[in-house]
Chain A
Amino acid sequence: MNELHQKLIAAARRTAPDDRVPYAFEKRIMARIIFSDHADTLGMWSHALWRAAVSCVAIMALSGVWTFWSAQQQAQPDFEQEFDSAVLVSASPDVVW
């Protein structure tokens, strides 16, 4: 079996590998590379725009929350002022009951 192994390995070593290149292979490779390079540029732009879109949505959401919160704050009555107004109204000579 050792001889069989050695003979097979020797046979494999003697077999010269075929280095033929198919016709116009280089042209196909260059076409593929150029296409993938362009596609890559588009991919880069797409990626950047998506990132920008996410940031914009986040800013929009924050702005919305802040606006809502501000509106809530303004809507809440200032009791001190309200009380003063109520007292002054009753004391005001212009008001006729």
Chain B
Amino acid sequence: MERSDAELIAAVLKGDIASFEPLVTKYSPRLFATARRYARREDEIEDVVQEIWTKAFQKLSTFRGDAPFEHWLMRMAVRTCYDFLRHHRRNRENTFTELTTEENDWIERVATSPADVSEDSNAARQLVQRLMNLLSPPARLVIQLLEIEDKSVKEISQLTGWSVPLVKVRAFRARAEMRKCLARIAKDKYL
């Protein structure tokens, strides 16, 4: 019979380390999906998820059981991904002068007839990726959680450990940063 998360955690805390494996099997897909939003290379993604699991094991005794284990794990995941973004800030000067023809066409069609343009296209996905890579780590995290994953300010506060006012300030700055990046596209396009 399958054991519950609480039973598995209790077993691990009593010294049965093997009971940690079912938790790894169960939640790794969600962790990989999260990590893939913030890292691009597979080796980096795997490193991030390994780090999340290592931290989860080391801090397992701090899990109080007030909320589901998944929530506790996702908080750790978001913070680890944020640390990854801060430590791996690559050259963010990859400007939109390197847009592909497909991406250029997509932007032009949005400018001329936005209603006819599909969001479900490779060009759109690539543009989103470029845009997110241009943002600073806090801006990227807030845009990802607030606008793309549609989380509330309170949820973001719980996930990141930031206070609610700080989340609001960062959200304001993130949107301003995003507008600046988009203005650069529009300016480059229409010069």
A34 within 8 A of B: yes
Contact B178–A5 (Cβ < 8 Å): yes
Contact residue range for chain B?
35 or more
Residues of B within 8 A of A74 (CB): none
Chain A's interface: helix, strand, loop or mixed, by majority?
helix
Give the complex CA separation of A21 and B18 in angstroms: 19
CB-nearest residue of chain B to A13: B148
Contact B148–A1 (Cβ < 8 Å): no
Q: A1-B186, A4-B185, A14-B120 are in contact. Are A26 and B21 (CB under 8 A)?
A: yes
A44 within 8 A of B: no
- List residues of A (1-38) whose CB comes within 8 Å of B's CBs: 1, 3-5, 7-15, 17-22, 25-26, 28-30, 32-34, 36-37
Contact A32–B46 (Cβ < 8 Å): no
Q: State which of B24, B32, B128 has its C-beta within 8 Å of the C-beta of A12.
A: B128
CB-nearest residue of chain A to B130: A8
Q: Tally A residues with Cβ within 8 Å of B.
A: 29
A-B contact count (CB 8 A): 98
Contact A4–B24 (Cβ < 8 Å): no
Contact B29–A21 (Cβ < 8 Å): yes
- List residues of B (95-152) whose CB comes within 8 Å of A's CBs: 107, 110-111, 114, 117, 119-121, 124-125, 127-128, 131-132, 147-148, 150
Contact A3–B114 (Cβ < 8 Å): yes
Q: A21-B29, A26-B28 are in contact. Are A11 and B34 (CB under 8 A)?
A: no
Contact A28–B34 (Cβ < 8 Å): no
Footprint of B on A, CB under 8 Å? 1, 3-5, 7-15, 17-22, 25-26, 28-30, 32-34, 36-37
10 smallest CB-CB distances across A and B, nearest first, come from A11-B124, A17-B33, A19-B29, A19-B33, A11-B119, A3-B114, A10-B119, A12-B128, A12-B148, A21-B28
- Other A-B pairs beyond A15-B125, A26-B24, A30-B18, 4, CB < 8 Å: A9-B128, A11-B119, A11-B127, A29-B53
